A and B are shown apart, each in its own frame.
Chain A
Amino acid sequence: MKVTLDQDRCVGSGQCVVAAPDVFHQREEDGIAVLLEESPAAELAADVQHAATVCPALAIAVEGHR
C-alpha cells in the first residue's frame, strides 16, 4: 500500500488524523495534513482508505489497496 497526500489541496479538516492517527498528522501553524508514513502496515489499510474517503478536498490517494 502506498499513500500520497497533496498538501496544496488540503483544507485542514483533520478527518484523516481522526481516521488514521498513525499515518497522518496536522501542522501546528495551519492544520494542514502531514503524511507520517508513506507505506503503512497492512493492518492500517482500512483506516487509511477511510481517511481518503472522508477527505473533503480529495487530497489523499491510496494505491495497492482494494
Chain B
Amino acid sequence: MTTTVDRTGHDPADVSSYPMSRNGKCPFDPPPELYAHQEQGPLAKVRIWDGSTPWLVTRYADQRALLADPRVSADVARPGYPSPAPIPKGGSAISFILMDDPEHARLRRMVTAPFAIRRVEAMRPTVQKIVDDLIDDMLAGPRPVDLVEAFALPVPSLVICALLGVPYTDHDFFQANSKIIIKRDARPEDRQAALGRLVGYLDQLVGTKMTEPGDDLLSRLAARVGSGELSRMDAAQMGVLLLIAGHETTANMIALGTLALLEHPDQLTRLRAADDRALVSGAVEELLRYLHITHNGRRRVALEDIELDGQVIRAGDGIVFPNDIGNRDPEAFPHPDTLDIGRDARHHIAFGFGVHQCLGQSLARMELQVVYGTLYRRIPTLALAAPLEEIPFKHDGSVYGVHELPVTW
C-alpha cells in the first residue's frame, strides 16, 4: 500500500501534525488525537512546524521514565532538538531550563532556596493578603468583571515581583513582553526583541541591587555576580525566566480552574464547604492534573539509542512529551477524564518530571491553595457572565487557558 516507510514503520505521509487541536466541545480535555496515540502507544512520530518528525511519547509511565533519563537532553542547541518555535539567530537560551547538567544544576541551585517549602509557607500570609485585597476591590467595583484582568493575572504578578524584588510599577511592561515571548506564533524577531527588553531591564535592576540589596531573589543573584560566581547577563536571564514562568502559568490555572469548577458545580460545592486544608490542597493537585495548562509538549533530544517496547529512539532523535495526555492515562489515574477533587492526584506530571521539573511548583501550589480556598467562599454566588461557548480559549499560546473570563455574583 505504501511506497515509503521510514525506519519506524510509519508512513511519513500519515504522520500527524503536532500540536494538535482540541475538540471545541471539550475545552478541558487534551486533543482527541492524543487519546488515540496513547491507546496505540507507546511511540508515534509527529510532524512539527519545521517539517521534522520527532517521537511522541504519550503514556504516563514512559513519560516519567524518559524525562528522568540522563540519556535524554533538554539542550536546545543540540541537533535534532524539536523546538516548539523557530530559534532566533544568535541564540537565546532562556537560562537553565534549556541546558543539561552540570551547568543546569549549578545555576538552578542558586535560585532554589526561596522556593523551599518552609520559605514558601512563610509567604502564605502575604499571598492571603494579596488575594483578599484583590477580592475586596472586585466586590467594590462594577459587575460583570473580567476575572483574568481583575484577579488571575495580578495575583501571581504581585507574588513573583515581590519574590524577585521587581517594583510593581513595572508590572505592565513585564506583562506585555512576557506575552510576546510565550505566544506560539510570535515572529522570532519580535520574540527576541521582547526578551532583549526584559533582560536589559533586569540587568539594570541587578546592577541596582548590587549597591542597594534588598531581601529578595535578585539581590541574592546580585551578590553572586559580585563574588564572580555568575555573570550579570546570567543573573538577568535567570530573573526573566523566573518572572515569565511564574506569571502566565499561575494566572491561567486561576482562571481556567475557576471556569472548570463553575462547570462542575458539585465539585465547587464540595470545595467551598471544605474546612480542612487537605481537601483544598487535594483540589489543587487534581486541577493541575486535569487542566494541565502547558499544552505544547515538553521537548527533548536523545543522546544515545534508547529502546522502548521493542522500538528504538536513535541518538539525535527529537522527543515530544505531551504531559497533558500523560495525566489522563487510565493506568495512572482511574477514570482520568473525571474531575474529582477528592482523588489522590499528587503523582501528576503537570510540572513535568526529571531534573527540569518546575522550580516554582511549591510557590504555585501555595498560591493556588490560597486562591481556591478563598475566592469561592468570599464570593459564593460567583457565576459566569457569558455562555461557555463565548469564552475565548488560548489555543495559540504555549500555555493553555482563557483570554477573558467574564464573571458576576
Contacts and interface: CB of A to CB of B under 8 A. Distances in A.
Interface in A16-59: 17-19, 26, 28-32, 50, 53-54, 56-58
Contact of B115 (A12, A29, A56, A57): A12
B353 A56 contact: yes
A54 B349 CA distance: 9
B112 A32 contact: yes
A31 B112 contact: yes
A11 B105 contact: yes
A30 B68 contact: no
B353 A50 contact: no
A14 B117 contact: yes
Interface string B95-107: 0000000000100
A11 B118 contact: no
Given A12-B115, A14-B117, A53-B347, A30 B109 contact: yes
Q: How large is the interface on A (under 10, 10 to 19, 20 to 34, 35 or more residues)?
A: 20 to 34
B355 A57 contact: yes
Contacts of A57: 68, 354-355, 357
Given A32-B109, A50-B346, A56 B117 contact: no
A56 B116 contact: no
Given A11-B105, A50-B346, A56 B113 contact: no
Interface residues of B, number: 23
A29 B68 CA distance: 25
A58 B361 CA distance: 17
Contact of A30 (B112, B346, B355): B112
Interface string B262-295: 0000000000000000000000000000000000
A48 to B, nearest CB: 14
Contacts of B110: 30
B352 A17 contact: no
B192 interface: no
Given A11-B357, A14-B362, A54 B346 contact: yes
A3 to B, nearest CB: 18
A26 B116 contact: yes
Nearest to B108: A11
Interface string B320-358: 000000000000000000000000001100011111010
Contacts of A53: 347
Contacts of B359: 12-13
B193 to A, nearest CB: 32
Contacts of B118: 26
Contacts of B68: 56-58
A12 B109 contact: yes
Contacts of B116: 12, 14, 17, 26, 28, 31
A55 to B, nearest CB: 9
Contacts of A58: 68
A31 B113 contact: yes
Contacts of B347: 50, 53-54
Contacts of A15: 361
Contacts of B355: 9, 11, 56-57
B117 A17 contact: yes
Interface of A: 9, 11-15, 17-19, 26, 28-32, 50, 53-54, 56-58
9 contacts: A9-B355, A11-B108, A12-B359, A19-B346, A30-B113, A53-B347, A56-B351, A56-B353, A56-B354
